[in-house]
Amino acid sequence: MTRYETPADIGVAAVVGAGEMGRGIAAVQALAGREVRLFDVDDDQLSAAMEHVEWSVGKAVEKGRVAEDERAAALDRISTTDSLADAVAEADFVTEAVVERQGVKESVFRDLDAHAPEGAILATNTSGLNVTRLAEVTDRPELVCGTHWFNPPMLMELVEVIYTEHLDPAVADLMVGYIEDIGKTPIRCRKDVPSFIVNRCFRPYGEAAAWLAYYGEAEKEEIDSAMKYREQFPMGPFELADFTGGIQLRVEGERDHLEDDRLLAYDTQVCPLLHELYEEGHYGRKAGKGYYDYTDRDEPHVPATAGRDFDPMLVWAPVINEAAKMVQHDVATVEDVDTGMELGGNWPVGPFEKADEVGAKAVVRYCVEWAERHDPFNKAMETLPCDLLVETAKAGERFY
Question: What pLDDT, on a 0 to 100 scale, did the predictor assign at position 273?
Answer: 93
pTM for this prediction: 0.95
Domains and CATH numbers, the chain: 7-189 (3.40.50.720), 198-400 (1.10.1040.50)
Torsion, Cα of 97, 103, 107, 113 (10° steps): 70
**Which residue out of 70, 79, 90, 127 is catalytically annotated?**
127
- 301 catalytically annotated: no
The reported pLDDT for the residue numbered 248 is 82
Statement: residue 254 has pLDDT above 70: no
pLDDT, position 270: 84
pLDDT(380) > 60: no
- The Cα 274–Cα 133 span in angstroms is 30
Q: Does the structure show a pLDDT above 90 at 259?
A: no
Residue 226 clears pLDDT 80, i.e. is over it: yes
Express each pLDDT in 50-107 by its tens digit. 999 999 999 999 999 989 889 999 999 999 999 999 999 999 999 999 999 999 999 9
Specify whether 225 is catalytic.
no
Note the pLDDT tens digit of each residue in 169-178. 999 999 999 9
Quick check: is 127 catalytic?
yes
Number of neighbours of residue 52 by Cβ within 10 angstroms: 18
3-state secondary structure 279-296: HCCCCEHHHCECCCECCC
Cβ neighbours of 55 (radius 10 Å): 10
Q: Which amino acid is at 22?
A: G
pLDDT at 372: 84
Report the percent of the chain where pLDDT is more than 90: 86
Share the mean pLDDT of the chain. Answer: 94
Read off the pLDDT of each residue in 310-331 and give the average, rounded to a whole number: 97
The catalytically annotated residue of 148, 166, 282, 374 is: 148
What backbone torsions phi and psi does residue 253 show, to the nearest 5 degrees?
Answer: -85, -5
- pLDDT average, residue stretch 372-386: 70
- pLDDT at 180 exceeding the cut of 90: yes
- Active site residue: 96, 160, 222, 239, which one? 160
Query: Is pLDDT at 269 greater than 80 in this prediction?
Result: no
Of 142, 199, 257, 391, the active-site residue reads: 199
- Indicate the pairing of strand 144-149 with strand 78-81: unpaired
Asked whether residue 336 carries a pLDDT value surpassing 60, the answer given is yes
**Amino acid 263: pLDDT:** 87
